[in-house]
Chains A and B, each alone.
Chain A
Amino acid sequence: MNRFFKRIIKWGFVTGILLLFQSCILKEFKFNEIKLSNDWEMQLGSPLFYGNLEFKDLVYDWKEPVQINTGEPVVNLQFSSDSVIDFPTRLIYEPSAIIDSFNFLIEGDDYLSQASFKYLVTNGSPFPLYLQLRFFEKHSSAAKSPAILPPAFPAAQLENGSLIPVKTEYTLPLTTSQLESFKRGNRIQFVTWFNKAATGFNPDTLSAHYPVELSIVLSGIVHGYYQ
């Protein structure tokens, strides 16, 4: 083989190797640009809050002493056998911010596209209970964010003179604005009140310790990108 052909072979090999490596597809390895697929989603459920509360926790915020207006109806709110206070009846039916601003620091909720709250409430009080949540940002006002309010949770059943707690489950899909406030908010306001109209129960004395158990569960669809 003469020198000419040897050189042809030599440089042919070099060119071939360069072409081989040049043809190598490496675009899948752009790890700095990688994102989760738009097609990916998972249905995720997680409890958010629970509480073993009592009637007294839900009727008033107790930050200020109870003011009784002249002539207004009152009820005896019994804390123990020897501790009873006069409590304005109207306060039971007026919304009270039982938690003004609860730190809600959950990461990753920006990836939610749909969400619903499942409420599991066992109401041992004699009145239907309303529970309203508002998610808002730290330097904003709770009043400006949309309220998330399920139907009233039915009152306990009166049987043979005693109240039997009633367990109720509601699932409330969040509207677009409610979901947006949930994702942006880092504070929560809990507001509760009771519904007088729905019950004929009107005793003179109410226990401060009627039990109310509540659990709020988030169900949502999580995606691989910001919603």
Chain B
Amino acid sequence: MGIINRTKIYQLQLLLCLTFLFMLKVSKVNSQNAGSLFMFPDNYRAQMLNPSLMRNDGAIILAVPGLAGISIDNDGNFKLTDFVYTQPSGQTVFDLGRFSNKARPINLNSVRFSLPLFYLGIPVEKGMFSIYLKEQINTAIRFPVNTITWFDNGNIPKEYRNFESGNIDFRMLSYHELGLGFTRQLSDNIHFGIRGKLLFGAVYANINNWNYTVETSPSGDQVLLTSNGTGKLSVPFPVVFDKLGQIQKIETQNIIANYFSFRNPGVTIDGGITYTIDENRTFTASVTDLGFIYFGKNAWDLYQNDSFVFRGIDISNSTNSKIGNGYVFPFNLMLNVKDSLRSVFKPFANQRHLLRGPAPKTYLHYRYRYSENLAFGVTNETVFQKLYFMNNLTVSALRWWGDFSLVGNITLHRLSSVSVGGGLQWNNSFSQLFVFTDNLMANYHPATQKSYSITFGMNFLLNHTESGIANRKNNYSRRGKISKYFPFYRRYQ
């Protein structure tokens, strides 16, 4: 017995050593919450990613706005402090020069923000019914370093006379999501779950290869401005166009009310399966976000392909000698020149209907219970976006201490970078609190991290039944029953 314990201790020490080696060797980090989440099948956030997961103890899960928490998943190759930092004087400054010096040839950043507003999971015979409402915002931007150099170098030095921004890409999709899920125990070792989701699209933007040039003549008396690019846009706000069909401005009155209006309907489905191989091994798989959103109102194709040679304001016909003879009033002249300059950067828009959806994702998770208090897991997340896909592989270790569960993980991102994260969950007599991150350093100083993710929140647990107390082999131990004085689950020692 002593030999076995020592072996386990050695293996744990080896895991810790490997973790720190990764931390020392690899500076680029990326994030994935799912890896930690799937180690907690009783957590409602994991159940949102795989509808076949459910609690074993018969408790009702209730998450309410404000307490349900949030998930932020930021992934990029630059950090906020590359261009925003606090000076010794205490002033927070935005420094383009600093960013220009630190920027890579191609700069990327994506953010996935998820805000569950409500979740209710009700156990039924051999299964569970769930309903939830959440807000989802996904954005991604890609731009070359050239885009920034203009703001650092200007256009007077000879080597910077001809500026080209390079191709700028931006994508954004935000929507309100109402999910209705059902989980069913098909046999002793198979759970199946399916969820239908009603989506209401709020904002969709897809900016492709937007490119700008500023070419200054040797003497500086002419500046050629050009713009190129295509895209698609749908916003829940009124958009004002000029006579030519160019976007003049987007009205921002009643922005909150407009944003949270329910329009642009869509449907997606999630499916998942959990296979309990034996008492120590479990395999789960899920596919999420298969479907589309129909942007029928306020949706446009965008394009820009314009140029303008700016030579200054032409005063030829604004001298006093021209009064009464083709005179151009200076005020109108100034406005016309400004309009000509701005029009280069205003895209044209053609109204059309758009059919777009969130990126489908697959989650594969294998968990091995090593001992009574220790489990290991492997999770693979794949996100499909058109012809591209992003893959994260996470190795996790979970340790139970009574009501507390502590997880640590290492995530391989696209096989090119690594992050080290962790999290914990606390179950008390009537609720569950949790926090997970895939970049522990981000908790201390998020602005210095290129990538980080954090998921935190809490949910209530109602109406435990004694028969539904979890089996310690499959979950953590519970010894409780319904209190006759208190409507919530209460633990008795």
| Contact across chains for A45 and B216 when beta carbons are under 8 A apart | yes
Write out the residue numbers on chain A whose beta carbons fall within 8 Å of the beta carbon of B447.
Answer: 25-26, 28-29
Identify which of B130-138, B202-210, B242-250, B310-318 touches chain A. Answer: B310-318
| Contact across chains for B315 and A104 when beta carbons are under 8 A apart | no
CB distance from A214 to the nearest CB of B (A): 8
**Interface status of B187 (Cβ within 8 A of chain A):** no
Write out the residue numbers on chain B whose beta carbons fall within 8 Å of the beta carbon of A104.
Answer: 334
Q: How many residues of A contact B (CB 8 A)?
A: 63
Our count of residue pairs bridging A and B at CB distance below 8 angstroms stands at 173
Write out the residue numbers on chain B whose beta carbons fall within 8 Å of the beta carbon of A219.
Answer: 156, 220
Interface residues of B in 128-164 (CB under 8 A from A): 151-157
Write out the residue numbers on chain B whose beta carbons fall within 8 Å of the beta carbon of A216.
Answer: 312
**Interface status of B403 (Cβ within 8 A of chain A):** yes
Instruction: Tell me the bound Cα distance from A29 to B449 in angstroms.
Output: 13
| Contact across chains for B155 and A215 when beta carbons are under 8 A apart | no
| Contact across chains for A217 and B86 when beta carbons are under 8 A apart | no
Chain A positions 99 through 116: 1 when the CB is less than 8 Å from some CB of chain B, otherwise 0: 111111100000000000
| Contact across chains for A24 and B446 when beta carbons are under 8 A apart | yes
Interface residues of A in 39-83 (CB under 8 A from B): 39-40, 42-53, 56-57, 60-63
Given the contacts A38-B93, A43-B156, A43-B157, A50 and B315 also touching, CB distance less than 8 Å: yes
| Contact across chains for B222 and A63 when beta carbons are under 8 A apart | no
Instruction: Tell me the bound Cα distance from A190 to B312 in angstroms.
Output: 15
Instruction: Tell me the bound Cα distance from A48 to B315 in angstroms.
Output: 10
Instruction: Tell me the bound Cα distance from A13 to B446 in angstroms.
Output: 22
| Contact across chains for A27 and B92 when beta carbons are under 8 A apart | yes
**Interface status of A120 (Cβ within 8 A of chain B):** yes
Write out the residue numbers on chain A whose beta carbons fall within 8 Å of the beta carbon of B81.
Answer: 28
Q: How many residues of B contact A (CB 8 A)?
A: 58
Write out the residue numbers on chain A whose beta carbons fall within 8 Å of the beta carbon of B97.
Answer: 37, 39-40
| Contact across chains for B315 and A190 when beta carbons are under 8 A apart | yes
| Contact across chains for B312 and A47 when beta carbons are under 8 A apart | yes
CB distance from A88 to the nearest CB of B (A): 16
Instruction: Tell me the bound Cα distance from A43 to B160 in angstroms.
Output: 10
CB distance from A171 to the nearest CB of B (A): 10
Given the contacts A27-B86, A37-B97, A39-B95, A50 and B320 also touching, CB distance less than 8 Å: no
| Contact across chains for A33 and B444 when beta carbons are under 8 A apart | no
Chain B positions 399 through 429: 1 when the CB is less than 8 Å from some CB of chain A, otherwise 0: 0011110000000000000000000101000
| Contact across chains for B330 and A217 when beta carbons are under 8 A apart | no
**Interface status of A3 (Cβ within 8 A of chain B):** yes
| Contact across chains for B426 and A13 when beta carbons are under 8 A apart | yes
Instruction: Tell me the bound Cα distance from A133 to B241 in angstroms.
Output: 38
**Interface status of A1 (Cβ within 8 A of chain B):** yes
**Interface status of A20 (Cβ within 8 A of chain B):** yes
Residue from B84, B316, B443, B493 in contact with A21 in the complex, judged by beta carbons closer than 8 Å: B443
Write out the residue numbers on chain A whose beta carbons fall within 8 Å of the beta carbon of B80.
Answer: 28-29
Nearest CB to that of A63 among chain B residues? B320
**Interface status of A17 (Cβ within 8 A of chain B):** yes
| Contact across chains for B314 and A50 when beta carbons are under 8 A apart | yes
| Contact across chains for A46 and B402 when beta carbons are under 8 A apart | no
Chain A positions 207 through 222: 1 when the CB is less than 8 Å from some CB of chain B, otherwise 0: 0000000011101001
Instruction: Tell me the bound Cα distance from A50 to B318 in angstroms.
Output: 11
Given the contacts A44-B154, A44-B156, A51-B314, A57 and B95 also touching, CB distance less than 8 Å: no
**Interface status of B219 (Cβ within 8 A of chain A):** yes
| Contact across chains for B321 and A48 when beta carbons are under 8 A apart | no
Write out the residue numbers on chain A whose beta carbons fall within 8 Å of the beta carbon of B315.
Answer: 49-51, 53, 99, 102, 190
| Contact across chains for A10 and B403 when beta carbons are under 8 A apart | yes
Instruction: Tell me the bound Cα distance from A132 to B168 in angstroms.
Output: 44
Chain A positions 102 through 144: 1 when the CB is less than 8 Å from some CB of chain B, otherwise 0: 1111000000000000101000000000000000000000000
| Contact across chains for A30 and B92 when beta carbons are under 8 A apart | yes
| Contact across chains for A1 and B402 when beta carbons are under 8 A apart | yes
Instruction: Tell me the bound Cα distance from A56 to B402 in angstroms.
Output: 96
**Interface status of A197 (Cβ within 8 A of chain B):** no
Given the contacts A50-B314, A219-B156, A61 and B320 also touching, CB distance less than 8 Å: yes
| Contact across chains for B98 and A98 when beta carbons are under 8 A apart | no
Instruction: Tell me the bound Cα distance from A120 to B218 in angstroms.
Output: 12
| Contact across chains for A25 and B216 when beta carbons are under 8 A apart | no
CB distance from A9 to the nearest CB of B (A): 6
CB distance from A10 to the nearest CB of B (A): 7
| Contact across chains for B323 and A169 when beta carbons are under 8 A apart | no
CB distance from A222 to the nearest CB of B (A): 7
Residue from A34, A99, A120 in contact with B92 in the complex, judged by beta carbons closer than 8 Å: A34
Given the contacts A37-B93, A37-B94, A98 and B154 also touching, CB distance less than 8 Å: no
Write out the residue numbers on chain A whose beta carbons fall within 8 Å of the beta carbon of B319.
Answer: 51, 53, 57, 98-99, 190
**Interface status of B34 (Cβ within 8 A of chain A):** no
Instruction: Tell me the bound Cα distance from A6 to B446 in angstroms.
Output: 32
B binding-site residues for A, Cβ under 8 Å: 80-81, 84-87, 91-98, 151-157, 216, 219-223, 310-316, 318-323, 330-331, 333-334, 338, 401-404, 424, 426, 435, 443-447, 493
Sample of 16 A–B contacts (CB below 8 Å): A1-B402, A34-B84, A36-B95, A37-B95, A37-B98, A42-B151, A42-B153, A43-B153, A43-B155, A44-B155, A47-B312, A99-B330, A105-B334, A120-B221, A190-B319, A215-B312
The 6 closest A-B pairs by CB, nearest first: A47-B312, A42-B154, A37-B95, A43-B156, A28-B447, A43-B154
Q: Told that A46-B223, A57-B321 touch, could you supply 11 new A-B pairs with CB distance under 8 A?
A: A9-B401, A10-B402, A10-B403, A28-B81, A43-B155, A45-B216, A46-B220, A97-B320, A103-B330, A103-B334, A215-B312
